[in-house]
Structure 1
Amino acid sequence: MILYYYPGACSLADHIALVESGLPYKLMSITHEKKTEDSRDFLSINPKGYVPALELDDGEVLTENPVILNYIAEKSGKLLPKKSIARWRSLEATAFMASEIHGSYAPFFLNFPETEKERARKKITKAFSLLDDQMGDKKYLVGEDITIADCYLFWVLMASERIGLELTERLRSYYDDMKLLPSVSRALAEENLG
């Protein structure tokens, strides 16, 4: 498999999941000009033009974080509980982050007016409060084992630093603990994010 990524972008969630899963993968970075590191046109691989994109061994390409994360979990048999409500809570949290948080970062990365940024800050802060409540006293977002939701949550929290958003004490502690996981450390190092 080949993960097309941009360093520090949301594709980091998939990168962490690939490391954590133990599945073999190759990395291929893309530039803002939509070129791969080996000079191919990224739009010919993913016409949507953004990361992540996961090229499977048969040449098929998957896009969208929730889909790629779920694929990695299904393929590896890891990162997603097989039975119990924890499976559905993990999928629910992943979808929530994709729909309610990830898109709310757009005003900060696309130079929107300050009023739009403030509206987005409030929406993200509310979403973080809900995730904080969901986590409760658990080690990870939905239980005692890491899931795809944690891979995505790590990136969502990392992106909050870029916009100066204050995290709750529990989410800050969780984020700091996640940075120490071998899979997270490796993914950060492979993307030169130190």
Structure 2
Amino acid sequence: MKLHFSPNSCSNGIHVILEEIGVPYESVRVNFQNREQFSEGFRAINPKGKVPTLVRDDGSVLTEYQAIAFWLGRSFPEAGLLAQDIEGQARALELMDYMVATVHMRGFTFIFAPQRFTAVEAAHDEIRAHGRGIVTDGFAQLGEVLGGRDWLLGDYSIADATMFYLTTWGRGREIPMPDNVSTFHDRMLARPAVQRMLAKSAV
């Protein structure tokens, strides 16, 4: 397999999942600063110009975070990253959809790229503040789900790798998060798979 990724993007979550699974894969960096996601070469692989993008062993390409995470969890059940029953799988998808579609896309996108929503620079701070509010509320809700457990669904899963990329962004922007969510982030940092991902993405 081959993972097309960009450091400190949501593809970090998929990178962690691949490291947890432990199967051979190649990681290919897509340089966003050089706008490589829009290059002819990358668009030939993923016309959406997005990461993560996973090229599977049969040459087929899988895109979109939740789809890749779910496929990896189902394809490598021995890793124990996804429940085998439909209820457990639905709960994992429910959490990932909320984290990606709401906390990431409706929250962090406002913080990172207010210019996407208006060219009026005077409004950018207000847009960023709006995004911070969504993210802060998102962390509060995820903290409620986590409760006193180590992991979101009880057992470690693809949902935890997803929350990790969000908490990484949250710490980088000094966005407040509940104590149990902050402790979760530290717990993730201690995982060997996360340490390997961070080392690979820093190269």
Whether TM exceeds 0.5 here: the answer is yes
1:147 aligns with 2:157: yes
Q: In the alignment, is the contact (CA less than 8 A) between 1:7 and 1:29 conserved in 2?
A: yes
Q: What is the number of equivalent residue pairs in this alignment?
A: 190
Once the two structures are overlaid, the 10-residue window that deviates more, 44-53 or 106-115, is 106-115
The percentage of counterpart residues that share the same residue type is: 29
**Offset of 1:34 from its aligned partner?**
4.4
Residue in 2 aligned with 1:128?
139
Residue in 1 aligned with 2:84?
82
Q: In the alignment, is the contact (CA less than 8 A) between 1:73 and 1:148 conserved in 2?
A: yes
- AA aligned to 1:96 is Y
Q: In proportion to residue count, which structure has more helix?
A: 2
Residue in 2 aligned with 1:15?
15
Q: How does 1:113-124 map to 2 (within 5 A)?
A: 113-124=124-135
Q: In the alignment, is the contact (CA less than 8 A) between 2:5 and 2:28 conserved in 1?
A: yes
| Structure 1 residue matching 2:202: 3-state secondary structure | coil
Structure 1: unaligned runs, 5 residues or longer:
none
Distance 1:63 1:84, change over 3 A: closer
TM-score, normalised by the number of residues in structure 2: 0.88
- AA aligned to 1:139 is D
1:181 aligns with 2:184: no
TM-score, normalised by the number of residues in structure 1: 0.92
1:98 aligns with 2:100: yes
**Offset of 1:177 from its aligned partner?**
0.9
Q: Distance in 1 between matches of 2:141 and 2:31?
A: 34
Residue in 1 aligned with 2:180?
170
| Structure 1 residue matching 2:4: 3-state secondary structure | strand
**Offset of 1:84 from its aligned partner?**
6.8
Q: In the alignment, is the contact (CA less than 8 A) between 2:110 and 2:130 conserved in 1?
A: no
